[in-house]
Chain A
Amino acid sequence: MIESHLSLLIVVLPLLTAPIVAILPNGRAPWLISTLVSWSVFTLACMQLANVSTGNIISYELGGWAPPWGIEYRIDAANALVALIVSGIAAVIFPYALKSVEKEIPEQQHSLFYAAFMLCLTGLLGITQTGDIFNLFVFLEISSLSSYALISLGQQRQALTASYQYLIMGSIGATFFLIGVGLLYAMTGTLNMMDLAQRLPELYEHRTIHTAFAFIMVGFALKLALFPLHLWLPNAYTYAPSVVTAFLSATATKVAVYVMLRVIFSVFGFSFIENTPTDELFLILCVVGILMMSFYAVYQQDSKRLLSYSSVAQVGYMMLGIGFGSVLGLTATLVHLFNHALMKGALFMAIGALVYRVGSSRLEHLSGLGKHMPWTFAAIVIGGLSLIGVPGTAGFISKWYLVLAAIEKQYWLIVVVILLGSLLAVIYVWKLIETLYFKSENDSIQPETIKEAPLMLLIPTWVLVFANVYFGFNTELTVGTAEQAIKLLLPGVN
């Protein structure tokens, strides 16, 4: 019974939980229910991945309406992997949320907060599950609107402007996407992705199709914060509550990258892209983005902002793989999608634990904390090493495939840029580590009041830290699933 409705349940479960949580009284009940739901969704996502990892494709007809009239959920290895990331991160972050949210968000907003969080989860999971491009837009809006609300709950007043900025940029992005979808519908008369993929090749020369493609690309480049459309991201991540930053940084951009993959490789087909300047444009933007954003990260004075700029740079790594359009490149993209979620999740959660103790994420307030919070500090060190791409961590595997892909294509300049990006990562990660480890404590805080973060924060953080190391040695899940996914994304290559 559950087996056959698995793919739907993954979306519907959090969707139905949201209103229930919203009407619950404040207190621990909303948190408890959300956590349990996030764990169930994670279990379902694991089952789903196990189903498709052998090369199966799940096609679920919503309400029994056959596609292309009804909405189809179509799951292959690529969706299943992304759904696993999103639900996995949620399952780790919800237990963490209790303490952090109690500290950072006023009590009377707790149940609404968890409701918005559930909606955001619904939206992100919906995007990964659906095989209908208009339905995708709907879920995009659900996740976006709820994340605007979540970001605006940050402690500082700047959270409001940050959220507003994201609202404007995000809406423009969504509108662009919708225009693109509209144009596609006008030309083909269908919204089902598989249908689109069948009908588009004969229209490849048509200018409207090119226009539609451009609109969709720009729209999603905004959502995934591809340089130079990243301006909303640093503020949003810096001022959002710690939990929200950790969740969004690990999931939202990943889902957007997944949509790029799906639209480019499943809907339009890479042969279409090759005849447009898109792939070259991606490579140029990524190269400039990786270098510039890493430089920006080096000069930040706020730990969350530092990691935000690093996130924009890392998005560049993921998009590079798409720009290559090769098996190795896509492997790098999918593997990095997964690994980056682990490292940024772990890092932002560890930063959140520091914020829990001192109430600020600015570097000057964090100096010397490493000695008082050794476990949190160790989490930041390991997460940072993974971000740099030191062997033995997940980040290394991503870098391995990415550089191999560039070598295969003989793009030596890009090889240099990737490695240079790693070296810049050494600098900004070590800036964080030196602040925590060498500087003496800030005068405004009493060192004796600073203790190690509570276990409720530490355990989830360390789950992700451990995952960073585990997936640095065992790549069966990441690389194996990626290879399955690529067989479908790049048919005829193997």
Chain B
Amino acid sequence: MNVIASEQLIALAILLPLIASVLIVFADKQPNLREAITLITASLIAFIVITLAMRVQAGEVPALELFEVIPGITISFSIEPLGMLFALVAGTLWLITSIYSIGYMRGHHEKNQTRFYAAFAIAISATLAAAFSGNMFTLFLCYEILTISTYPLVTHSGTAEAKRSGRVYLGILLGTSIGFQLLAILITWSVAGTLDFKPGGILEGKLDPAYAGILYALFIFGVGKAAVMPFHKWLPAAMVAPTPVSALLHAVAVVKAGVFTVLKVTIYIFGSDFILSSGASDWLIWFAAATILLASLIAMTKDNLKARLAYSTISQLSYIVLGALIATKMSLLGASMHIAMHAFAKITLFFAAGAILVAAHKSDISQMRGLGRAMPITFMAFTIGSLSIIGLPPFGGMWSKWYLALGTVHAEQWILLAVLMISTLLNIAYLLPVAVNAFFAKPAEGETYTEIKEAPLTMLLALSLTALACIVLFFYPDPFYNLAVSAASATNGGGN
């Protein structure tokens, strides 16, 4: 019935970007051909993930098993709803980001663009492979490939600052993943004898509940990409990268790969029943809660727009981690949906930040007063993105916050509910003034914005699309909602 079998689609989704990355290197001297390769591949990927998503929603579980690495451990892919949701977000946004990158990289006269596009494609391949992973080993492999392949993107400019940031980036991400996550995986393997993702988890009855908390902590902190404090510093450091990287990788692909791993571990390694019965997450919850508030507070002190957005991302990622740690069906539903909702909102904000940088050469918020009148479309999009992050209707961000808050209510965690509410207020405090001042405040003394126009067309197109998506997702969240519901109900083996 299907023209291409789902197994082949999985293979294509992972291989196409890799092939593209090789072709991009060969098209080094012809920028137009090079960008055409990126765009064609990104369109194909978007088409593939949408096709796969429709099949997964219809109840299919596409799987692809490659080969055995170590006796008992295989490289295998198996798409369940959560992974599909993540792949759907990353795959579709890559297309939009590619359109945006072309305007940005040319408008900003960046060097080494070939290396940029090639590394970008590898990172996307690793992201999709991570989303489709059928066991913890495959996920860890893709997680590390993602770390390494984004390193040249972070250090793209080659300056001393880029080198320093690269050290922080790699140090924290490799350090936590080898020091904690690998250890956690090895303990899981030696206890459970398998690393396959199973609905309801693989540890219950095998691991002494007294140690569950320690193992869970090793996983949560081992996933440095989830940026739970105190392992969050890499994310602000990564902002030295070109804006498309910050937008797709450090607001969507890389960070979401982190929280995705946390959710996978919660649902498919531990299972919520085991987490709740062993109390594994009791004290970890406070790390996530503290991260939500502290990161929001730090964001308020940042004048650099990208730095402020980075801390905002840290805070928002901990919403998802918190949802995982509460481990009820409702909170997991909210956490899964937040992967998608936050992605569309935050990428809009980063796109806007990049547009401002290219068009007005400004990166500090204090210098953007009055800029809104010169760049109305950009700042409208910024406003929409901000409101969606804050979680107001009619924007998509409302739904995920709604279910997360419901999750805390169901779990009777009133303090956590308060944390979510305070954080919402903080979101308003650090995001809205940017847009408000741009539209309504007077420019600083002696500054006139008569010569500043909107950014190149491809950039405007991209940020308008994602802003529009924020609104559409309020009225029609179904694709993500349906996947998130199925993902959340897998947590205790599919029962109630």
Nearest A residue to B137 via CB reads: A391
Q: State which of A213-221, A345-353, A418-426 sits at the interface with chain B.
A: A418-426
**Chain A 380-419, CB within 8 Å of chain B: the 1/0 string?**
0000010011111000010110011001100000010001
Residues of B within 8 A of A472 (CB): 69
Residues of B within 8 A of A408 (CB): 190
- Taking the complex as formed, is B231 at the interface, i.e. its CB lies under 8 A from any CB of chain A? no
- Taking the complex as formed, is B27 at the interface, i.e. its CB lies under 8 A from any CB of chain A? no
Residues of A within 8 A of B186 (CB): 400, 403-404, 407
**Contact A479 B183, beta carbon cutoff 8 Å:** no
- Taking the complex as formed, is B175 at the interface, i.e. its CB lies under 8 A from any CB of chain A? yes
- Taking the complex as formed, is B279 at the interface, i.e. its CB lies under 8 A from any CB of chain A? no
CA distance A390 to B69 in the complex (A): 14
**Contact A430 B170, beta carbon cutoff 8 Å:** yes
Nearest A residue to B162 via CB reads: A438
Residues of A within 8 A of B144 (CB): 390-392
A422 with B141: in contact, given A438-B163, A473-B69 (CB under 8 Å)?
A: no
Number of residues from A at the complex interface, CB < 8 A: 27
Give the contacts of B99-148 with A (CB-CB under 8 A). 137, 140-141, 144-145, 148
**Contact B190 A423, beta carbon cutoff 8 Å:** no
Number of residues from B at the complex interface, CB < 8 A: 29
CA distance A408 to B140 in the complex (A): 21
Task: For B69, give its contact among A403, A404, A475 (CB under 8 Å).
Answer: A475
**Contact B190 A407, beta carbon cutoff 8 Å:** yes
Residues of B within 8 A of A161 (CB): none
Residues of A within 8 A of B183 (CB): 403, 415, 419
CA distance A408 to B158 in the complex (A): 44
- Taking the complex as formed, is A442 at the interface, i.e. its CB lies under 8 A from any CB of chain B? no
Give the contacts of A434-454 with B (CB-CB under 8 A). 434, 438
Give the contacts of B282-341 with A (CB-CB under 8 A). none
- Taking the complex as formed, is A271 at the interface, i.e. its CB lies under 8 A from any CB of chain B? no
CB distance from B25 to the nearest CB of A (A): 10
Q: Is the interface of B mostly helix, strand, loop or mixed?
A: helix
A404 with B170: in contact, given A391-B140, A422-B178, A474-B67 (CB under 8 Å)?
A: no
Question: Which residue among A391, A400, A404, A422 has the maximum number of chain B CB atoms within 10 Å of its CB?
Answer: A391
**Contact B175 A430, beta carbon cutoff 8 Å:** no
CA distance A260 to B93 in the complex (A): 56
CA distance A5 to B144 in the complex (A): 47
Task: For B178, give its contact among A389, A404, A434, A473 (CB under 8 Å).
Answer: A389
Residues of A within 8 A of B373 (CB): none
**Contact A388 B140, beta carbon cutoff 8 Å:** no
CB distance from B440 to the nearest CB of A (A): 44
Give the contacts of B55-105 with A (CB-CB under 8 A). 67, 69-71, 75
A430 with B167: in contact, given A419-B183, A475-B70 (CB under 8 Å)?
A: yes
Give the contacts of A216-265 with B (CB-CB under 8 A). none
CB distance from B392 to the nearest CB of A (A): 42
- Taking the complex as formed, is B171 at the interface, i.e. its CB lies under 8 A from any CB of chain A? yes
A426 with B170: in contact, given A389-B178, A400-B70 (CB under 8 Å)?
A: yes
Task: For A388, give its contact among B69, B160, B163, B174 (CB under 8 Å).
Answer: B174
CA distance A320 to B337 in the complex (A): 47
Interchain residue pairs with CB less than 8 A apart (19): A392-B141, A392-B144, A397-B69, A397-B70, A403-B182, A403-B186, A407-B190, A419-B179, A419-B182, A419-B183, A420-B179, A423-B179, A426-B170, A430-B167, A438-B160, A438-B163, A473-B67, A475-B69, A479-B70
Residues in chain A within 8 A of chain B (CB atoms): 385, 388-392, 397, 399-400, 403-404, 407-408, 415, 419-420, 422-423, 426, 430, 434, 438, 472-475, 479
Question: Given A390-B148, A407-B190, 9 more contacts at CB 8 Å?
Answer: A388-B178, A391-B140, A400-B70, A403-B182, A403-B186, A419-B182, A423-B175, A473-B69, A475-B70
Residues in chain B within 8 A of chain A (CB atoms): 67, 69-71, 75, 137, 140-141, 144-145, 148, 155, 158, 160, 162-163, 167, 170-171, 174-175, 178-179, 182-183, 186-187, 189-190
- Top 10 closest pairs, chain A to chain B, by CB: A391-B141, A438-B163, A422-B178, A403-B186, A391-B144, A407-B190, A419-B179, A390-B144, A426-B174, A423-B175
